[in-house]
Amino acid sequence: MWAKTITGQGLTDATLPGNPLASFSMAYLYYCDGASFASGREDPVPYNGTHSLHFRGRDILVSLIGCAFSRGTVSRASDGDASRAAPEAPPPAPTTNPAPKSAQDEILATLLDPKGPYRMDRAEQVVLGGHSAGGMATFHAADHVADTLSAAGLGSASFVGMPDAGFFLPDVPDADGNFSYRAEMQSIFALSNASAGVHPACLAHWAAQGEAWRCMFPRYEAPFIRSRLFLVQSQYDSWQMDNVVHLGCDPPKEGSCSEAQLKRFQSFRDSMRADLAAAGILPPGPNRAIWTDACIAHSQGYYGHYFTNDHWRVGGQTIAETMGAVTVGGTVWPGNTSEIDDVRWPHNSPCADAGV
C-alpha cells in the first residue's frame, strides 16, 4: 500500500542543512486506525454491508516498536496486563511457496540487520515524533516507547517525545457555540476503544469519573506522562481554526473576517495558552520544553519552509535550533531550551510580516 521509502521534509529530511536529526536513522510509521495508534477494538465494525473496519492501532504500534528495539514482538501484556498475553505459537511448517514479505517486514529487517548501518537495537538517542494526528499519537505512546527501550536494555538511551501540532483543544466551541470537535473525538474514542492506547494512569484517573475520553487530548493526558517532551505548537493552529473553531474567514486577508470572527480567532489563542499551562507545558515544567509561535500554521517541524527558516524565529531561535538543544544537546532541561512567542498576531514577527 505504501512505498518502502519516502522523501522526507523538515526534520525527516536528512539532506536539509541545519537539521539536527540529519545523522539519525529514521523509521516513518503510518497509521490508519483513525485514532492515533490508540485503538484496540477486538471485533471489526461492519461498514456499508460489504466491508469491515478494524481498529487495532495499539497492537500495530506495540508490534512495530517492540520489533524495532528488541528483535521480536511485544505482546499486549507488555502494558502490564499479563492476562492478555498470547501463548507462543509454534514455528510455521516449511513451505516451498512462502508468502512474500510485506514492506513493513523488509523495513524492520533493514533496521535490525546486524551488518547494516542502522542497528536501532543499539540506539544511544531516540526521538519519537509525529505531526498533527501523529503528534497526538506521540503523547499517547511516549511512555510506552521509553519503557520498551528500558526493557530492551536501552534504558541509558536519551529519549525525547516530540509532538508537532498535536495539542488539540477539546473545550473550544465552534461558530455555533457547540463542542462539535469534542463530540467527534468522543465518538471515535468509543467506536475504536481508544482506551487501549491512551496513557494508563490518565485512563485510571478519568475513567473513575466517567470521562475516560479526556485522555485522547494532551490537555488531560500530558500531566501523567513521565518522559521528556518537546512540543512544536502554533498558538493559532490553522487546522484547528478550520476544524475546531469553524472560523469561516482568513485573518491575513484584509476585510475577510468580521469583528465576531476575529474575537473567536484571538480567543482560541487564549484557550491554547491556558490549556498548555494547565498541562504543565507553558511555562515548561520538569521534563518539558516547547517552541511556540503566534503564527497561523500547522505541522511546522515537518515542513522545511518553517523548520530551518532563518526568518522564522522565536526568541532568536528556529525550530531546528531549539530542537537541536533538546535532542542532540539533550542535557539542558527544562525551560531554558524553550522559546515562547508572547506577542499576539498580527503584531508578532516574523510571521505577521510574511502574511501567515
pLDDT at 84: 32
323: three-class secondary structure by DSSP: helix
Does residue 269 sit within a domain?
yes
pLDDT at 78: 32
Does residue 232 sit within a domain?
yes
Cell numbers at 104, concatenated: 513493513
Does residue 97 sit within a domain?
no
Dihedral sign from CA coordinates of 202, 286, 79, 182? positive
4: three-class secondary structure by DSSP: coil
Give the number of domains in the chain: 1
Give the start-end residues of each E strand in 109-225: 125-131, 158-164
The whole domain housing 322 covers 10-78+103-354
Does residue 95 sit within a domain?
no
Does residue 51 sit within a domain?
yes
CA dist., res. 305 & res. 264, Å (int): 28
Concatenating the DSSP letter of every residue in 95-128 gives -SSPPPPPHHHHHHHHHH-TTSS--GGG-SEEEE
pLDDT at 82: 31
* Predicted TM-score (pTM) of this structure: 0.85
Cell numbers at 131, concatenated: 505531526
Of 114, 106, 128, the C-alpha closest to 21 is: 128
| Residue 71, CA atoms < 13 Å, CB-side half-sphere | 8
Does residue 85 sit within a domain?
no
CA dist., res. 170 & res. 183, Å (int): 9
Does residue 211 sit within a domain?
yes
pLDDT at 70: 55
Does residue 91 sit within a domain?
no
Question: Average pLDDT per run of 10 along the chain, which is 356 residues long?
Answer: 76 91 85 88 91 90 74 34 35 46 55 62 85 95 88 79 97 97 96 95 97 98 96 96 97 94 97 97 90 94 84 89 79 63 86 56
